[in-house]
Chain A
Amino acid sequence: MIMLKVENLTKRYKLGQIAETTLRDSFQRLGAKMRKQKDPTRPIGQDFIHGEIFTALENVSFSVEKGERVGIIGHNGAGKSTLLKLISRVTAPTEGKIALNGRVASMLEVGTGFHLELTGRENIYMNGAILGMRKKEIDDKIEDIIEFSECRQFIDTPVKRYSSGMYVKLAFAVAAHLNSEIIIMDEVLAVGDMAFQKKCLDMMNAVSRNDGRTILYVSHNMGTIRRLCNRVIVLEKGHIIFDGDVETGIERYMGSTRMLELVNVYDDPHRHSGDGEIRINRTKILNKTDYPIFYSGENISLGIDFSAKESFDQLAFRWVIYSTADVSVGMATTETDIQANPGDNYLQMDMNIDQLAPGKYVVYLTGYSVNEYGYNKVHDTVSDAFVFEKVLTTDENNRMDWKHNEWGYSMFPMIQHK
């Protein structure tokens, strides 16, 4: 049964400062319009003409079957939140239609609809009522909810005294237990502790499999998407660019950011973490002239430009290799004997990737040192430092396509038989 059907959905927002309009401004605008003058209320230096529009979603269509767990991914501004807002009826579409077959429980933010002065118990009733449940229905569920929320001790305390963790737990417990056929979640799981996150994901999986409830889940955390969802929709600039299985979707989403480049420069401070004693400025793949695509038996030869604040004589670099689906594949490091002078330094390294399965990979590059107690001190880590692809020569591996889901990311040498 189709639970949710979205047809040609479009949402446009008017740009400009419509929110801060006052009555006086309206009259001024009207007066200026009649005298054919410029709008006096428009901020100086701003070129928005009133009525200029921003399209957050354009012509989006899809439908979701009962029991599906759909992950919605995309970069900031891709339209994910707008889509969820439209489905949860917070705001109305500009064009198109959404048809729903059941009640929607939306958790667009932690503790939606919670009132601070009310106790946890009162808020459970409140939240249930917002979802359209009658008091009797909630009475039947309240024990399960309290149990799941792990907040029994505080259930009759006003929620304003709750910690943020307890807040999420309660909010989640309510949404998961109420009789809504469709559950919408916008990264709420990010706040709880790891144990609770796991509990939530297991719970969502269970309600979806056993009760056939439909889940729409937006997250930037591919790990949770992978664990919860069985279908992924990738949005980009208000359009659906992919709709299908999880791994391909995640790859599509990740891949759209990561380009195969030989030279990578790391100016953006957000890409760096560590104590900043050294800073990796640039990398260049030396043994390729067009694209960083490596065939079996080829090494990656990398040149690194980095600057150091003081002199080092026990520096090391490590590579952490991720798949494009954001799974950590493995690590390799240099010895801790690299020397560096204050100021700019250059280093060349060779990496053997014979044991890597074919596919596209992302490298996180870290410069670190180890002191005499074995304590590992990270000076600089560049996330997404560079991307490369490994390709097999045709006769290798019996000409089979590599199945990452089943076989993982390590490829060992051919087995020798006697």
Chain B
Amino acid sequence: MTDKFKTEITANHRLLDLHIRETFQYRDLVWLFVKRDFTAQYKQTILGPLWAVFQPLFSTIVFVIVFGNLANLTTADVPGDFQIPSFLFYMTGNVCWSYFSTTFNSATRVFVDNRSTMGKVYYPRLASPVSIAFAKLIAFGIQFALFMLIWLFYVIKGGTSIQITGWLFMLPLVVLQLMVLSIGLGITVSALTTRYRDLLMVITFILELWRYLCPIAYGLQLVPEKYYWLYFLNPVTPIITTFRYAVFGFGYFNLGYYLIGWLITIIVLFTGLICFSKTERNFMDII
């Protein structure tokens, strides 16, 4: 008779019991969730996933008209005489932002949206937010492909300051940081939304405001350099500026601020994981 059991469920929760390995074992489930979210979202629509393109495209056009032509805000990250088509400039910011805001928003609702399943059956709860991060990556991929097409058009046409550099290889890292940050923030807040549904409403406003704290509608040049230390505490900022550096071949990059961005991202992720694993144990009793 052995007293060794494969699984033990106890009343005591260890702080660092984050179920990461278990979530990895359930990777097929993560993949199925991704597929489910994707098919469910676009089922019975005519354009299907093409809808993903419209939202950032629409924002970009609005930004070109409002901030570019009417308000005439700068689109430069660094001083100098660079020629960047304003459409491309606004699109970089909007594509990143669109991924961040949709992922963050869905991740905050993860307990509320999945309570019917989670209330009946066990699986590592982390599989749900992780699948969200990947599902939204599909839309991001489509938007990014469109961006690259337009980018390529300008590169071939010439007459702009775009240079193809080795910085392009930074892109995967930038996207990774974007994913980690959105999901980390999302699950931190999701732990709170099980108790306070108000947060779900508040988040819409916060996101709207946050968008203008990032260099999306304007170039970094608009911000006085002496406030950069404060401005770069917003972890989305280095992601967007680095993204632009990578695709345009020039721009603003400060290793210090970039690493601080990563540091904040990692801290956010672990805060999120801890809150999440604490909440997942008992949230069914509250929700």
- Interface residues of A, Cβ cutoff 8 Å to B: 1-2, 5, 10, 13-14, 18-19, 21-24, 26, 85-102, 104, 106, 108-109, 112-113, 115, 117-118, 122, 125-126, 129-135
Indicate if the CB atoms of B11 and A96 lie closer than 8 Å: yes
Q: In the complex, which of the residues B6, B10, B119, B284 contacts A93, with contact meaning CB atoms closer than 8 Å? A: B10
Partner of B286, one of A18, A125, A129: A18
B interface residue numbers (CB < 8 A to A): 1-2, 5-11, 13, 25-26, 28-29, 32, 35-36, 39-40, 43, 117-123, 195-199, 281-282, 284-287
8 closest residue pairs by CB, A with B: A89-B122, A99-B5, A129-B29, A92-B281, A98-B9, A112-B120, A100-B7, A117-B40
Given that A91-B282, A102-B6, A108-B120 are contacting pairs, would A130 and B29 also be in contact in the complex, using a CB cutoff of 8 Å? yes
Q: Which of B1, B25, B26, B119 contacts A90 (CB 8 A)?
A: B119
A23–B28 touching, CB < 8 Å: no
B199 and A23 form a contact (CB under 8 A):
yes
Question: What are 8 A-to-B residue pairs whose CB atoms are below 8 Å?
Answer: A1-B2, A5-B5, A22-B196, A86-B9, A88-B122, A90-B120, A99-B8, A122-B32
Assembled-state Cα–Cα distance A135/B29 (Å): 9
Chain A residues closer than 8 Å to B10, beta-carbon distance: 93, 96-98
- Please name all residues of chain A whose beta carbon is closer than 8 Å to the beta carbon of B32 when the two chains form the complex: 122, 125-126, 129
Measured CB to CB, the closest approach of chain B to A111, in angstroms, equals 9
Q: In the bound complex, what is the Cα–Cα distance between A117 and B117 (angstroms)?
A: 15
Q: Write the chain B residue with the least CB distance to A111.
A: B120
Is A117 within 8 A of B39, CB to CB?
yes
Q: How far is the CA of A108 from the CA of B118 in the complex (A)?
A: 11
Closest B-chain residue to A87, C-beta based? B9
A106 and B40 contacting across the interface, CB-CB below 8 Å: no
Determine how close the nearest CB of chain B comes to the CB of A43; give it in whole angstroms. Answer: 17
Partner of B1, one of A2, A100, A106: A2
For residue A18, which residues in chain B have a CB less than 8 angstroms away from its CB?
195, 286
Flag if B43 contacts A117 (CB, 8 Å). yes
Interface pair A91/B117, CB less than 8 Å apart: no
User: CA–CA, A415 to B118, complex, Å?
Assistant: 63
Of the candidates B2, B10, B28, the one having the most CB atoms from chain A within 10 angstroms of its own CB is B28
Contacts of B198 in A (CB 8 A): 22-24
Contacts of A98 in B (CB 8 A): 8-10
Bound Cα distance from A108 to B35, whole angstroms:
25
Whether B285 and A113, one on each chain, are in contact in the complex, defined by CB atoms closer than 8 angstroms, is: no
B119: nearest chain-A partner, CB-CB: A90
B40 with A115: CB separation less than 8 A? yes
Contact A26–B11 (Cβ < 8 Å): no
Q: Which of B11, B195, B285 contacts A13, CB < 8 Å?
A: B285
Q: Contact at A130–B121, with CB atoms within 8 Å?
A: yes
Do B121 and A112 have beta carbons less than 8 Å apart? yes
The residue that B9 contacts in the complex, of A21, A97, A108, A122, with Cβ under 8 A, is A97
In the complex, the answer to whether B195 meets A90 with C-beta atoms within 8 Å is no
Task: Chain B residues near A115: list those with CB within 8 A.
Answer: 36, 40
Chain B, residue nearest A112 (CB): B120
> Pick the contact of A106 from B8, B43, B122, B284 — CB < 8 Å?
B122
Whether A109 lies near B120 (C-beta < 8 A) is yes
Q: Which residues of A sit under 8 angstroms from B122, Cβ to Cβ? A: 88-90, 104, 106
- Chain B residue nearest to A130 in the complex (CB): B123
B25 touches A21 (CB 8 A): no
Residue of B nearest to A119 (CB): B39
CB distance from A50 to the nearest CB of B (A): 13
Q: Compute how far the CA of A97 lies from the CA of B13 in the bound complex, rounded to whole angstroms.
A: 12
B282 pairs with A88, CB closer than 8 A: no
Q: CB distance A135 to B28 under 8 Å? A: yes
B277 nearest CB across to chain A (Å): 11
Chain B residue nearest to A97 (CB atoms) is B10
Bound Cα distance A95, B32 (Å): 35
Question: Which listed residue (B13, B28, B120) contacts A113, Cβ 8 A?
Answer: B120
Which A residues lie within 8 Å of B286 (CB)?
Answer: 18-19
**Chain A CB within 10 Å, residue with most, of B29, B40, B198, B282:** B29
| Bound-state Cα–Cα, A93 to B196, Å | 23
Question: B117, A19: Cβ atoms under 8 Å?
Answer: no
Contact across chains for A106 and B120 when beta carbons are under 8 A apart: yes
Chain B residues with Cβ below 8 Å from A108 are 120-121
Chain B residues near A134 (CB-CB < 8 A)? 28
Q: Smallest distance from the beta carbon of B64 to chain A beta carbons, Å? A: 36
Chain B residues with Cβ below 8 Å from A100 are 5-9
User: B258 CB to closest chain A CB, in angstroms?
Assistant: 35
Q: Which residues of the other chain, A, contact B6 by a CB distance below 8 angstroms?
A: 100-102
Pairwise interchain contact A93-B11, C-beta atoms closer than 8 A: yes
Q: In the assembled complex, which residues on chain B have CB atoms less than 8 Å from the CB atom of A19? A: 286-287
Which residues in B have their C-beta under 8 angstroms from that of A87?
9
Please name all residues of chain B whose beta carbon is closer than 8 Å to the beta carbon of A2 when the two chains form the complex: 1
Interface contact A22-B197, CB-CB below 8 Å = yes
CB distance from B44 to the nearest CB of A (A): 9
A54 to chain B, nearest CB (A): 11
In the bound assembly, the distance between CA atoms of A134 and B13 in angstroms comes to 28
Within the complex, what minimum Cβ distance (angstroms) separates B131 from chain A? 11
Contacts of A13 in B (CB 8 A): 285
Complex-state Cα separation, A21 to B43, whole angstroms: 35
The complex places the Cα of A24 from the Cα of B201 at a distance, in Å, of 13
- The CA-CA distance from A134 to B9 in the complex, in Å, is 23
